[in-house]
Amino acid sequence: MEQDELILLLRKYKEGRLSAEEWDTLWDWLDQGNTDEFHLALDAMGHNNTDTLPDLDRFAARLEEKLDEIDRPFVNKYRWRFWSAAAAVLLLLCSVFFLRREKHPHTMPPAVALKENRPGINKTVLRLPGGKEVALDDTASLIDLGIRKDNSQLSYLPMQGNTAPSYHTLVTPRGGQCSLVLSDGTRVWLNAASSLYYPTSFSGKDREVMLTGEAYFEVSPLPSQPFSVRVNDTRVIVLGTSFNISAYPEDNKFQATLVNGAVKVYTPSTNIVLAPGERASLPSGSTTFRVERVDTDMVTAWTKGLFHFDNADIKTITTEIARWYDIEVEFRGEMPVRRFGGVLSRKAPLAAMLKVLEDADVKCEMKGRRLLVSSSHNK
């Protein structure tokens, strides 16, 4: 491939504009292990392209751990080509999957490129008291409400005088995300298909918001006015900390993950205190929390524009795909048994995600906006 063509593909990739055919071309080239040509192309593009890249040494260590779980004869045969392609894609915002299946890994023939679907269109709306909705591109209305908008982030300006606060609801549809700075300086990242109900300013003894879906919070510390997030009957109370809450109704569970600081999680029947790096899970209908250590980078990867999976089953993968690409998923026949781990950019077209799944023993077929999923072994 000529360097000019490669540079064009790399730039379009970073901007999320690769077509399914271009994605196949780039992936096939990366799989040939042309690392010298790749780095020459990066140099030609300029070093600024790598300013926001992740910690590659740290990710490489995780990748090595995954490789150790795969049968050695298979790894030794393909390790060099795999690492060359993986290193290249990692430098492109970590868009590579490494897969494993219990004891018998194998490769499948290349998948046919599927119809392209574009992710992440920020069509978020702001719902006011009375039900009126304001689009985020309606700058004049936002200014009238005391809200400043920078790209996809909303910031509430301090209220003047003794004006009573009103309550707003920020609503993201499937395929949309938004970030928000509340009046107290707390930053919130709202994931797709989620909503946050909050006051335009905080008064009284505490600061409470209500969440449906998923959000990541960086709370401004105000010891005299604790911050809390309510999800149905469950409440997370903090003084100043960073944490993630996932509570999509279709997932049938509540999950709170603490990144730093300390939080208390309350239900009508129990309460727990989390330490950094711990996640509390509460399935629907249960009264007992399950607490476990987790990789917080994986939990919050969505705030950085990434999918990040670790030993995830096909249902977990397709639930994320459906929510982000705004499609429906239907399973047919035997469920694929592979487990998945790895990182992929959310800017990638749907065809790129499905190609990875097809290469991993999962048959994918698009029918309109419905994704039909089955094992490649099904007849």
Cα separation, 108 vs 198, whole angstroms? 49
Residues 283 and 193 grouped into a single domain: yes
Question: What is the residue whose two structure tokens read 């590659």?
Answer: 56
Residues 100 and 153 in one domain: no
Q: Is 77 exposed, middle or buried (0-12, 13-18, 19+ CB in 10 A)?
A: exposed
Count of alpha carbons within 13 angstroms of residue 233, beta-carbon side = 12
In this structure, the answer to whether residues 251 and 207 fall within a common structural domain is: yes
Indicate if 310 and 284 belong to the same structural domain: no
Same domain, 164 and 276: yes
pTM to 2 decimal places: 0.71
The Cα 166–Cα 12 span in angstroms is: 43
Same domain as 249, residue 209: yes
Same domain, 189 and 313: no
The predicted structure's pLDDT at residue 44: 64
Report the chain (379 residues): mean pLDDT per 10 consecutive residues.
77 67 72 60 54 38 40 31 37 37 29 38 84 91 90 80 82 92 95 96 92 97 93 91 96 96 93 95 93 95 90 90 94 80 84 84 90 77
Is the same domain home to 146 and 247? yes
What's the confidence (pLDDT) of residue 361? Answer: 79
Query: What CATH number is attached to the domain comprising 202?
Result: 2.60.120.1440
Domain range enclosing 166: 125-299
Q: What is the pLDDT of residue 211?
A: 98
- Residues facing residue 59 across a β-bridge: none
Tell me how crowded residue 32 is: count the other CB atoms within 10 A of its CB: 12
Contacts of 243 (CB under 8 A, 6+ apart): 216, 217, 219, 236, 256, 257, 258, 259, 261, 263, 274
Q: What angle do CA 227, 263, 308 make, to 5 degrees?
A: 105
Nearest to 188 by CA among 204, 167, 210, 206: 210
